[in-house]
Structure 1
């Protein structure tokens, strides 16, 4: 999921493999409704294809969303074969090992960067430089890693609940700490907040759902001590963390829409909240001018950049900032219907988590919802494939549990 080219290849192989066994696919009315929810961003692109100035660019925008058709058809069509908890564990374990490999590679290949950061120099760039070595946007990478951490924590509780061997418990604890360390290392604000909130959701659900409350409280205490220790150690070694999460984030909020009045804004507010709010302000104003149908999927970014120039916002025009908000992005592209589809898509994930009373799904909902408030991950391939895959897996698990519940009610 993290790497676009391998992920694209695997999706193609996945599709071809399932076409061979297409007769095994099974759907009912409920499955079709779920599939329509998952494919809703793609269906919206198709519905508003006429609004693109360039058909070629419109087709390119459609191509990024194809996984939202393949995943629901082939995963939900085989929902009885989906092993939900095994998938979570495998995903958490493999992704953590892959990230460990690339972290060691970063140390070996870029020792000068590591030495600089250890000396406390340019700590603001650390996570972004590491992400560049993986050829992925830092917030996108950390959105994945936040969910990996939540999955690893869930696996820790699972190992305690099922009285697995001490060695396996220790392995999952190590995987959890490593995955959380990578979240800290990439160091994007929203992902860190989401990871911590996800941990609290998992801990709350595990304690309230288990009969052996003492064992869960013991496990939670161990986890919180290790988590707090890791966070404290990292902040001590990275003093920029305190500055980044306080003064830097909310600096110059009186300059919304007037960033050029700031001395060297590219150095002082490039990643600050004021820059995002300025972009949101412009995107909102431009969207209102193009209601009810928007400017078109392929034309939103050039039109927004044009608006930056027209309103004399030189800093935003120079760096061609995207909307950094999925709801505003779809409002600009598709008009009134756009944010409604985003809300449907994300809320449906939350609904599945609520109905299943599942901490991992609820944590995923929180991560993806809040991430799309400050970024636009349904614009990016990694966000589209990431959410489409897990949405389909969650939907399959819900269908499995629904069948079990229906059978139990019939027996009564």
Structure 2
């Protein structure tokens, strides 16, 4: 099939934008990934690889490759195939995005993604108010404040921590582009637009209200300030821009906490309650009410996952058998609360240790820290912020089990890798 370079570049960019924007919607995004792969199969001659790109592609595909390597350890052939199917995007994205690295426009893609995702969330927020007025009324009256973020995420069809992981990255990107408009001395209209996008994205993070995401966005803001912006602004100009914006942020946060008093309780007493009951949650009266989202529950899960992992070294229990075996262990150790709700590991390193044995956490380290290496090597605040967000999210959850974690990270890691290759080639050409 013949197509001009200009048209191919436009179509390729549109695919990347659509996939990035649709990432919070599993079925539409899965369909787009399939169409994207089919499109690229027609233009295999355009793919360009090098030894470096093959190494990078192997790092991105490492969780999928581990699934293949350890496939023999699954008790069920069908469930093993299903586990592999979840990771297929880790082959598609590096193969076709890094293979077409020269067509990736990182900043333009990130801008489109940030604007479109924020506006889509705004539409869903309006929809939520129209279709679930009773929930919003409860929220405004201070009733059951803890459930609002989860209800909003459920109305979209995504788990709240996963949605807020996406939104944390969107918010940090918007923060970066606010500063970028000032650095490039854009018109007031452009500056105002980006400030509105940023404030909306910040509001949505607060509304969904997961603890890790809120900490991550402030860490991301600091990374943007000190890693990216400091190199391009003089200190005086940086302070003039940063202080009013940060005051505005903390003002919004203060007002939000005043309206949502549960937030103070959630981030203090609820989080750290009953830490003396690790592994003994059934001794707590109504644990599903008092400690369902507390740290003590996470630590109890991690303790069980660690103990079970040690019993199944060096190869683990198999990709398809991790959760069933963990649930069985809860029952064997008489942890009825954990068994009733069938909690997963809530830690990606422990999850892979349980499933794949010694190789598991090594692959997680390789995969996640490849993002960190790209961000560090490029001195790029957006990439390094993504690394921090995905790393910390996987310390308290297991996003390489879910489409919204696997595809999300695989897509952006492939985009970051393409940008890194572009920069490396630019340096080589200059020399």
Q: TM-score range by the shorter chain?
A: over 0.9
For 1:8-407, list aligned pairs within 5 A.
Answer: 8-407=30-429
Shift of 1:162: 1.2
Shift of 1:211: 4.3
What whole-Å deviation, never above 9, does each CA across 1:183-215 have from its counterpart, x for those lacking one?
Answer: 000000011101111111111124421144433
Distance 2:305 2:229 in 1: 43
Q: Secondary structure, in 3 states, of the residue corresponding to 2:110?
A: helix
Distance 2:172 2:140 in 1: 28
Q: 1:4 maps to what in 2?
A: 26
Aligned residues: 409
Residues 287 and 337, structure 2, Cα contact 8 Å, conserved in 1: yes
Distance 1:218 1:82 in 2: 34
Shift of 1:229: 1.5
What whole-Å deviation, never above 9, does each CA across 1:344-402 have from its counterpart, x for those lacking one?
Answer: 00011000000000001110000000000000000101100000000000000100110
Shift of 1:135: 1.5
Deviation larger for 339-348 or 124-133: 124-133
Please give the TM-score of this superposition, normalised by the length of structure 1. Answer: 0.98
Distance 1:27 1:215 in 2: 42
Distance 1:90 1:217 in 2: 28
Distance 2:274 2:426 in 1: 55
Distance 2:368 2:244 in 1: 33
What whole-Å deviation, never above 9, does each CA across 1:103-141 have from its counterpart, x for those lacking one?
Answer: 010011000000001111111111111111111111000
Distance 2:381 2:412 in 1: 14
Residues 207 and 217, structure 1, Cα contact 8 Å, conserved in 2: no
Q: Secondary structure, in 3 states, of the residue corresponding to 2:401?
A: coil
Distance 2:189 2:423 in 1: 31
Deviation larger for 1-10 or 220-229: 220-229
Distance 2:396 2:109 in 1: 28
Residues 230 and 238, structure 2, Cα contact 8 Å, conserved in 1: no
